[in-house]
Copies of this chain bind each other. A is one copy, B any other.
């Protein structure tokens, strides 16, 4: 189902880039969970546009208004609903998108699917702006997971050809990551920003890879086959615009490894079972083994580039040259980091809510 996610919680996301508001409802959340709105706002600010050099100049405060589900700072068991009113809309910028679809965007596929009735302004419901309500839901789940000792953090693994230091898959040291531009090696941050600036100057864009880790998970979470941790995370992560690939654990380059290289041997440490390495990314048979869950997501270069591109006029059925106006990010990767964290938080919290298997046996 389109804009709805979850087996145990039910997240529903709505809104269009230049419509009156965007928002979400989140059903199935237990009562009595504390909500820290200030920390949520900090989290949302990491994604909000117009904060710095490498993001679109469109300025939106992204300040959610909660309409339901919270009482005196706690969840009340009823569905949570929150909206963000769009302010800085300039839909005139997109007047001709319905006739002349942007390469790499959903303009053409939306036109075919919705027969011209879609809200084309700014990509409508396909806009990256819709990741803001995803971050509301994810920011809440992240807080509740932290209460259980489960932390989620993500690294900018690469932008263009600049690679950050590799993450330690056994001990990810998430606390070393600066939320504003999360890399392990600060020199890389500088290089990455140069790459972005260069792309902007060239009226072009670059992509990258985000590596996300979830620590503190109990073993035994997830279901076999289609309900595994990989299945659930990938189902939500591909809902984020520009994501084209996901990889769990660290088994590659596949040509260079044998089974004896990537099987993680079991060890006993302090009376507890763990594995020496974590090539499997904390997941075996779809189920957590107690090691950090780690995955990488590939973000394609932003399709909105300001140099002329070849498109077609749907009304005239002839090729035409398109120059995209509007305000765009030359690289979406830094702003996508909290979105990936949000998606992971929602997927993991959903799994935890459904973890009746182990509960019942006790």
Contact = CB atoms under 8 A, between A and B. Distances in A.
B263 A77 contact: no
Contacts of A262: 104, 207, 300-301
Contact of A109 (B235, B281, B289): B289
Contacts of A202: 258
Interface in A214-251: 219-220, 222-228, 230-232, 234-236, 238-239, 241, 243-249, 251
A252 B245 CA distance: 10
A312 B273 CA distance: 8
A54 B57 CA distance: 56
A298 B300 CA distance: 19
A104 to B, nearest CB: 4
Interface stretch (A44-52, A116-124, A166-174, A177-185): A116-124
Task: State the number of copies, please.
Answer: 4
A2 B227 contact: yes
Nearest to A360: B30
A265 B103 contact: yes
Contact of A27 (B3, B309, B360): B3
A22 B359 contact: no
B226 A1 contact: yes
A67 B15 contact: yes
A199 interface: yes
A256 B223 contact: no
B358 A285 contact: no
Interface string A305-331: 101011110100111000000000000
A267 B266 CA distance: 55
Contacts of A92: none
A37 interface: no
Nearest to A7: B1
Nearest to A162: B255
B226 A235 contact: yes
A161 interface: yes
Interface in A8-67: 8, 10, 12-16, 19-23, 25, 27-28, 30-32, 65-67
B249 A244 contact: yes
Interface string A325-362: 00000000000000000000000000001101111110
The 6 A-B pairs at the shortest CB distance, nearest first, are namely A106-B285, A161-B255, A78-B125, A205-B259, A245-B247, A31-B114
23 contacts: A1-B227, A10-B12, A14-B25, A30-B357, A30-B361, A32-B115, A32-B361, A78-B119, A105-B284, A108-B219, A109-B285, A112-B287, A112-B290, A113-B219, A205-B258, A205-B260, A207-B251, A245-B252, A259-B304, A266-B310, A266-B319, A268-B317, A356-B356
